[in-house]
Amino acid sequence: MNRTTLLAALPQAVAKLDPRHLVRTPVIFVVWIGSVLTTVLAVLDPSVFGWGVALWLWATVLFANAAEAIAEGRGRAQAATLRATRTETMAVRLKDDGSTETVPGTALRVGDRVRVKAGEVIPGDGDVVEGVATVDESAITGESAPVVRESGGDRCAVTGGTTVLSDEIVVRVTSKPGETFIDRMIALVEGASRQKTPNEIALTVLLTTLTILFLVTVMAIQPLASYSGGLQQVIVLVALLVCLIPTTIGALLSAIGIAGMDRLVQRNVLAMSGRAVEAAGDVSTLLLDKTGTITLGNRRASELTPVKGATDPELAQAAYLSSLADGTPEGRSIVELALSLDRVEGATSAEALAREGAEFVEFTAQTRMSGVDLSDGTRIRKGATSAVTAWVTQEGGTVPPETAQLADAIAGEGATPLVVARAEAGGPPRVIGLVRLKDVVKPGMAERFETLRSMGIRTVMITGDNRLTAAAIAKEAGVDDFLAEATPEDKMALIIKEQEGGRLVAMTGDGTNDAPALAQADVGLAMNTGTSAAKEAGNMVDLDSDPTKLIEVVAIGKQLLITRGALTTFSIANDIAKYFAIIPAMFVVLFPGLDALNIMRLGSPESAMLSAVIFNALVIIALVPLALRGVHYRPGGAADLLRRNLLVYGLGGVVAPFIGIKAIDLLVSQLPGLS
C-alpha cells in the first residue's frame, strides 16, 4: 500500500462516515458516537486534550473506513475492464421457422438461439449448440490466446462480451440480461454483493458483546469515582471506552474478507460468495480428477502388443483405421504410433474412407469403445477391456486368455490398456492385441500431496480408469485414496459419505455430469471452459481452467482464516498495554499507589490518555497492508499454527503498544496544556 493508494481511498472513506453505513460495524459505530460526543464537548469547553481526543477519534473512524475502501478499490480496475466489454450488441436471433431477426442483446431471453459469425461479439452467456469456432476470451481471463468452443462436449460454454475469431456458431442463451457472468464478476470484484460469512458474523457477535461489556464497565466507573470524590470527565471516559473495545479487528474485519476474495481474483478464480472462500480454508477432503490434474493429461500411445494368433502389422493396421476419425489426443497418438512403426499399408484419411462407404463408430460413455465398419464388411473396435471383450463375446467371437493378463500388466504399471478387436466380413470378431496409453504424473505432485497431508487434508483421486491403473497412479502420485471407474452417481455418493462425519469437501469439474457433485461439495471449483451447468453448480469458477488450482484455493482460504485469527489476537492483546496507560492516569490523583502501574512512566494523565488514543488509531492504518496481503501461511498442524499465532501476534500485540504509546507520549507531552 502506497501513499497514492491511500489518497485515492480517502474520498470513499469520508463517504463511509454516514452512520447508516457504520451501524453495520458495531465497534466502529460506537467510536463514531464517541467522536461526535467529544467534538461537542470540545466545542463547549475547548482544551488541547479535548480537541486532541476528538480529532484522533475521528481519525480512528476514518482509518477504519479507509481500510475497507482500499480493499474495495483493488477490484475497481478489473471491474472497469469488465464494464468495457459489456457493450450494447446486436444479436441475430433464430426463429422457430428457420428465419432470423436482428434484436438488441438486452432483448434476449433464456432459451433463445443466436447465430454469431467471425468478428462478432457474443451477445450473452450460453452454450454452443451448433458448430465450432475460436473465441477471444482475453477480456475475461486475461489470456490472449484464443480458445476453441464447440457443441456437444464439455467445452461448449461461451460468455457474453467475448468475440468469435473464426467460423460460425449457434448459441443457446442461458442467462437473463443483467444476470450474465460478467455482471456477476463486476459485482463480486467490487465487493458490492459481498455478504458476511458465518465465521465473520460469529466474530462480529463476539466483538459486539465485548463492546457492550466494556460500555457497561465504563458507565459503572463514574458512580464509583463520584463515591471516591473524583468525578471523571466524559471525554476521559470516552477515551477509555475506545481504547478498551477491540477497535483494531473491528476496523479491519471487512477489509480482511474483501482482500481474501481479491487474492482469488488475482489468480483468476471467482468465488461466488465469501462462504466458499472460508469453506476452502476448512476443507478436510480434496477430490481431484486424475487426467490433467494429477497427470499431464496428454495420454499417448506408446506400445502395440499383439496377442497369440495376431501379427504386429495386423494390429497396427487395425489400430490405425479405428483411430482415423478419433480427434482426441489419444486417438491421434495411436495414428502417429502406427505410422511411425512403418506397419500401415496404404495410409489414408477418415474422409477418404467415408467416401468409400466406411462408417465410423464414435466413442460414448455408455459403450466405452469406438471403431469403424469398412465398406468390405470388416469391423474394427478399440476401447476399454471390459467393453471390447463383451462385444466380442456377444458377437460369438474369441478372446484369447492372455488378453486379461496383458491388460492387468499394463494397468498395474499405471498405463491405460485399450483392447483392439477385428471381425472379417461375415465372420465373428476376435481380439488381436492391446494399445498401451501412457500418462505421466506431474512433477512435484507427491510433495504437494504430502504438504496437504501435513495440513490435515485427505486427498482422493477420481478417475474413469480401471482399479489397477488407478491404484498405480495413486501410489506414484501419493494420494490417500482413489475412486476408479467413477460415474456421476459415484462422485455424489463419495461426497455425501465424506460429509457425514462433519468434514468439508472440495472438488473440481467441468462437465454437465459433474454438476450434481459440484453442487453437493462445500467448495465446487468449476472450469471456465466447462459447461454452463457446471459453472452454475459450483461456487467458484477458475477462469484459467486449471484443475490443480484447487490446491491454491485451499491455501488462500486457510490464509484468510489465519489472518483473521492473527489480527483478532493482536487486537485483544494490545488492549492490555492500553490499560497500563489509561487506568493509572485516570485515578492516580485519587489513589497515588496506582503510580506503580505506570510502568511506561508517561508524562502526565492527559498525555497518557491522548497517546493511547493516537496509538489506537495509528495501529489500524499500520495493519492495513497485512490485512490486504494476508498473514504468511506455512502448511502445518493446528497446534503449530496456534503456537505461532500466540507467539507472534499475541506477544507482539502486548509488546508493541508499550513501545508505541511511550514514543507518542514523548512527543505529545511537549504540547502546551498536556505537560
H-run or E-run covering 527: strand 523-527
H-run or E-run covering 6: helix 3-15
pLDDT at residue 39 is higher than 80: yes
Determine if residue 330 is labeled as part of a ligand binding site.
yes
Q: How far apart are CA 35 and CA 635, in angstroms?
A: 42
| Residue 398 backbone phi and psi in degrees, to 5 | -120, 140
pLDDT at residue 177 is higher than 80: no
pLDDT at residue 419 is higher than 90: yes
Got the DSSP string for 148-165?
Answer: EEETTSTT-EE-TT-EE-
User: 518 near 305, Cβ under 8 Å?
Assistant: no
User: 446 near 439, Cβ under 8 Å?
Assistant: no
Q: What is the CA radius of gyration of the chain?
A: 33
Contacts of 396 (CB under 8 A, 6+ apart): 428
Closest CA to 576 of 599, 555, 593: 599
Determine if residue 364 is labeled as part of a ligand binding site.
yes
Closest CA to 299 of 419, 386, 416, 420: 416
Confidence label for 192 from pLDDT (cuts 50, 70 and 90): very low
Q: How far apart are CA 254 and CA 240, in angstroms?
A: 24
Q: How far apart are CA 449 and CA 440, in angstroms?
A: 16
Determine if residue 141 is labeled as part of a ligand binding site.
no
User: How close are the terminal C-alpha atoms of the chain, in Å?
Assistant: 36
Determine if residue 549 is labeled as part of a ligand binding site.
no
Residue 114: predicted pLDDT: 92
Q: What is the amino acid identity at position 360?
A: F
Tens-digit pLDDT profile for residues 553-603: 888 888 888 898 899 989 888 877 777 777 776 666 666 666 666 677 777
| Residue 355 backbone phi and psi in degrees, to 5 | -65, -30
Q: How far apart are CA 536 and CA 272, in angstroms?
A: 10
User: 415 near 438, Cβ under 8 Å?
Assistant: yes
Determine if residue 480 is labeled as part of a ligand binding site.
no
By the 10 Å C-beta count (0-12 exposed, 13-18 middle, 19+ buried), 411 is classed as buried
Q: How far apart are CA 452 and CA 558, in angstroms?
A: 12
Question: 546-559 burial string, b = 16+ CB within 10 Å, else e?
Answer: bbbbbbbbbbbbbb
Q: How far apart are CA 530 and CA 511, in angstroms?
A: 6
- Which residue in this structure is represented by grid cell 466474530? 203
Determine if residue 382 is labeled as part of a ligand binding site.
yes
Contacts of 44 (CB under 8 A, 6+ apart): none
Determine if residue 367 is labeled as part of a ligand binding site.
yes
- Between 72 and 122, name the one with better pLDDT: 122
User: 507 near 521, Cβ under 8 Å?
Assistant: yes
Mean pLDDT of 139-153: 70
- Can you give the pTM of this predicted structure? 0.68
Tens-digit pLDDT profile for residues 425-457: 888 999 999 999 887 777 788 888 888 888 788
Determine if residue 362 is labeled as part of a ligand binding site.
no
Mean pLDDT of 621-640: 80
Mean pLDDT of 640-646: 78
Q: What angle do CA 194, 200, 206 make, to 5 degrees?
A: 145
User: 310 near 433, Cβ under 8 Å?
Assistant: yes
Instruction: Just list the catalytic residues.
Output: 289
Percent of the chain with pLDDT over 90: 13
Determine if residue 326 is labeled as part of a ligand binding site.
yes
Tens-digit pLDDT profile for residues 483-494: 888 888 888 888
Tens-digit pLDDT profile for residues 50-84: 899 999 999 999 999 888 888 777 666 566 666 66
Determine if residue 368 is labeled as part of a ligand binding site.
yes
H-run or E-run covering 568: helix 549-587
pLDDT at residue 193 is higher than 50: no
- Between 294 and 78, name the one with better pLDDT: 294
